[in-house]
A and B are shown apart, each in its own frame.
Chain A
């Protein structure tokens, strides 16, 4: 399972990549492969304020709907229109071209509530060991 080294991760399998106070947000390889083919992406509105771990937006795969939570608090400054036109972009490139939104981070201290790549890797292993969260029918 691919994990990008310098990103930070949530327990709900979102990632954030921080540069100059702006965070790019997307979902992890684990999330996209669990969801399967993504068929719908609801993008947040630009300028909306989001709180850490509160709902940022929602995705749908053929079989399920899934909420996306913001890894950190901030104001949405840019959204990726390409993924609403071509939701499969998230399946094909979840860490890069399939990003969902960018936020201007309001509280950098919140980063300490997130997992580093190696912590996230251990977390995924713990899920595989029995914390199974399958939800499909």
Chain B
């Protein structure tokens, strides 16, 4: 018997809404609601959608950026990070592979929140504890912190009705607001490519804030199923797909989030692997509605195996299948025409530029 699944504080709310609950990263999560993934997609891209992401991990760290050891754990620059802003980056292992991708929030001059993937909370916490110094305080607040993602072109309009001032937030910044008597952190961040916000607040208030957002009839609940479709459409990486302990940020096309002018765990290995060259991430579109899937193989037009698929879905925005894969080191300069499939199917595809979906309201 495996360990029982965790439930977010909104579990009963999802069940009441008809959410289809499935295991994900050790949690019982809503993969979709009765309207279905296509309607949920439309709600996000054209209106406002809400995701319960309370399964994700949050760490609080106190201390100086460098003396605490935090700067030596994450790949992105944080010394010059202004209070009230977020920065995306990764934590690497000694081999230059990715332990996790994460966002650092600078809460105060010497106070930080780090947001990590649900599947990696334990591993990350151990890594942080190992590399943080005695000049730091570390707290894992994952199991007491609820997180709601309110995303879509109408999200600003929805939230400002009961969170005055939220509309002033710039992309990748955050602030603390009092919502229904509770201090919450709202950041202008997300995982869909649309204008959107993430709200962090105590577990005990989970339902109260959810219902406050849902009181606006324009808001639709959306599940992890469409969340994956949306993130693939805008080519955001997902740990376990585009990122893993064996994949270097350079291979995943995330070099710009690695500041090699500072020292951090995995820096030398990262530079060595970059010099040696490695696999290369490729984005591609199917010639029809058939979707590539994780585990599919990538072939050259002559049938030669050149790589594999790590993410894929039908794209409601493009009307065709879209996929992300890795080309083997020897085949990083293939032409535009490729084929994806397995022993049963072969589908013609074309290399594409990221993101697949370019019309998002992200920076509106």
Which of B60-68, B141-149, B244-252, B284-292 lies on the face that meets chain A? B284-292
For the complex of A and B, the 6 pairs showing the least CB-CB separation, nearest first, are A39-B314, A40-B289, A62-B37, A37-B38, A37-B36, A40-B290
Q: Could you list some 11 contacts between A and B, CB below 8 A? A: A36-B32, A36-B36, A39-B38, A39-B291, A40-B289, A60-B290, A60-B314, A62-B37, A62-B314, A91-B36, A137-B31
Q: Which residues of A contact B202 (CB under 8 A)?
A: none
User: Does B225 have its Cβ within 8 Å of any Cβ on chain A?
Assistant: yes
Given A36-B225, A37-B36, A40-B314, residue A60 in contact with residue B24 (CB < 8 A): no
Q: Out of A60, A134, A136, name the residue touching B291 (CB < 8 Å).
A: A60
Q: Is the CB of B37 within 8 A of A36?
A: yes
Scoring A residues 86 to 101 as 1 if CB is less than 8 Å from chain B, else 0, what string do you get? Answer: 0110010000000000
Dominant secondary structure of chain B at its interface with chain A: mixed
A40 and B293 CA atoms in complex are apart in Å by 13
Q: Is the CB of A63 within 8 A of B37?
A: yes
Q: Which of A39, A62, A87 contacts B225 (CB 8 A)?
A: A62
Q: What distance in Å separates the Cβ of B2 from its nearest Cβ neighbour in chain A? A: 15
Let me know if B37 and A40 touch, CB within 8 A: no
A60 to B344 alpha-carbon distance, docked (Å): 14
A37 CA / B40 CA spacing, docked (Å): 11
Of A58, A60, A88, A136, which contacts B38 at CB under 8 A? Answer: A88
Q: Across the interface, name the chain B residue whose C-beta is closest to A134.
A: B22
Residues of chain A with a CB closer than 8 A to B36's CB: 36-37, 91
Taking beta carbons and an 8 Å cutoff, which residues of B are in contact with A? 22, 24, 31-32, 36-38, 225-226, 228-229, 288-291, 293, 313-314, 316, 321, 345
For B293, what are the chain A residues with a Cβ–Cβ distance below 8 Å? Answer: 65
Q: Which A-chain residue is minimally distant from B38 (CB atoms)? A: A37
Residues on A with beta carbons closer than 8 Å to the beta carbon of B225 = 36, 62-63, 136
| Set of chain B residues within 8 Å of A42, measured between Cβ atoms | 290
Using a CB–CB cutoff of 8 Å, the interface residues on chain A facing chain B are: 36-37, 39-40, 42, 58, 60-63, 65, 87-88, 91, 134, 136-137
Contacts of A62 in B (CB 8 A): 37-38, 225-226, 229, 291, 313-314, 316
Q: Is the CB of A40 within 8 A of B22?
A: no
CA distance A128 to B225 in the complex (A): 22
Complex CA–CA separation, A40 to B321 (angstroms): 9
Residue from the set B31, B37, B289 with the largest chain A CB neighbour count within 10 Å: B289
A91-B313 Cα distance, complex, nearest whole Å: 18
Given A37-B36, A62-B229, list of 5 further CB < 8 A pairs?
Answer: A36-B32, A36-B37, A39-B316, A62-B314, A63-B228
- A65 to B31 alpha-carbon distance, docked (Å): 16
B31 engages A37 (CB within 8 Å): no
* Distance of A98 from chain B, by nearest CB (Å): 15
Query: Which residues of B have CB within 8 Å of A63?
Result: 31, 37, 225, 228, 313
Q: How far is the CA of A58 from the CA of B291 in the complex (A)?
A: 12
List of B residues within 8 angstroms of A134 by Cβ? 22
Q: How far is the CA of A134 from the CA of B225 in the complex (A)?
A: 14
